[in-house]
Amino acid sequence: MCYNLLDKEFYVNIFTIQAVKIIDKSNLKRRFFSPNKESFDLIENEVKVLGLLNDNSIIEIYEILRSKNCTYIIMEYIKNGTILNKIHKQTINKEEHVWKYFVDLIKGIEYLHETAKIIHFDIKVDNLLIDDKDNLRISDFSISRVFQDDDTFQAVKQGCPYYLPPEMTIKNEKFHGKPIDIWACGVVLYYMTYSKLPFYVNSRSDMKNLFEQIRTKE
């Protein structure tokens, strides 16, 4: 449900807010799924997608509030942060945690693909949170896409380039959405296991080299 920030409902609920994602429309960079899609549409896209989700594997959204220049997504607060934080702090026990988190992730992806009919398109360690019961929760649906029977999409480069599969590194190629998320889950598993990415370049200006690695490296 969405509210204008001038509504008194906002002031009633503000004391129960646990976490807020603030999207400043004036500072958004232009990002596209098609040549005519403006960056601010990503806000509406995330709002639409979040309204379709209801599963324990997904971060819970309480309300969506709007002002003239910002959109505020009110969500539960996950105090343990992301898997990335746990890896950097070396608080992941490889034998005990990696497989559990990976199973949680795959269950979440199964829900998104088979029940909600959504492709996440940005699965990465930064978007995977660990709750106080040590369960993995998926977040950030700004570039997610809803599909019906056919999960085919036109070639675009979206999401984190280090998590892209080979088919998304080739221009003008169509691809199926489900394998995109599954490939990214594999990259997450690799990162949890080895604390590094399987394909990497030192600069994002060297994407040609990165994509060549993704297509050809064993």
- At 87, which CATH number? 1.10.510.10
pLDDT digits (tens, 9 = 90+) for 113-163: 999 999 999 999 999 999 889 999 999 888 888 888 888 887 555 789 999
Q: Which residues pair with 66 in a beta bridge?
A: 4, 71
Q: Are 108 and 195 contained in the same domain?
A: yes
Per-residue model confidence (pLDDT) at position 60: 80
For the chain, the maximum distance between any two Cα atoms, rounded to a whole number of angstroms, is 58
Q: Are 70 and 101 contained in the same domain?
A: no
* pLDDT, mean of residues 171-186: 90
Read off the pLDDT band of 70 (50, 70, 90): confident
String of b and e for 79-92 (b: at least 16 CB within 10 Å)?
ebebbbebbeeeeb
Q: Are 55 and 88 contained in the same domain?
A: no
Q: Are 167 and 210 contained in the same domain?
A: yes
Q: Are 130 and 100 contained in the same domain?
A: yes
Q: Are 194 and 143 contained in the same domain?
A: yes
pLDDT digits (tens, 9 = 90+) for 196-214: 999 999 987 788 999 999 9
Q: Are 70 and 96 contained in the same domain?
A: no
pLDDT digits (tens, 9 = 90+) for 5-54: 444 444 445 444 477 777 776 665 544 444 444 555 666 677 778 778 88
Q: End of a domain among 52, 75, 98?
A: 75
Cβ neighbours of residue 186 closer than 8 Å, sequence gap 6 or more:
none
Judge whether 134 counts as a catalytic residue: no
pTM above 0.85, yes or no: no
Per-residue model confidence (pLDDT) at position 188: 96
CB 1 within 8 A of CB 64: yes
- Structural domain boundaries enclosing 178: 83-216
Q: Are 95 and 189 contained in the same domain?
A: yes
Per-residue model confidence (pLDDT) at position 10: 44
Count of the separate structural domains present in the chain: 2
Q: What is the CATH number of the domain that holds 34?
A: 3.30.200.20
Q: Are 133 and 202 contained in the same domain?
A: yes
* pLDDT, mean of residues 96-111: 93
Q: End of a domain among 34, 54, 75?
A: 75
Q: Looking at 7, 24, 55, 122, which residue is catalytic?
A: 122
Among 12, 4, 1, smallest CA distance to 66 is for: 4
Q: Are 55 and 128 contained in the same domain?
A: no
Q: Are 128 and 20 contained in the same domain?
A: no
Higher pLDDT residue, 61 or 211? 211
Q: End of a domain among 75, 96, 115?
A: 75
Higher pLDDT residue, 176 or 33? 176
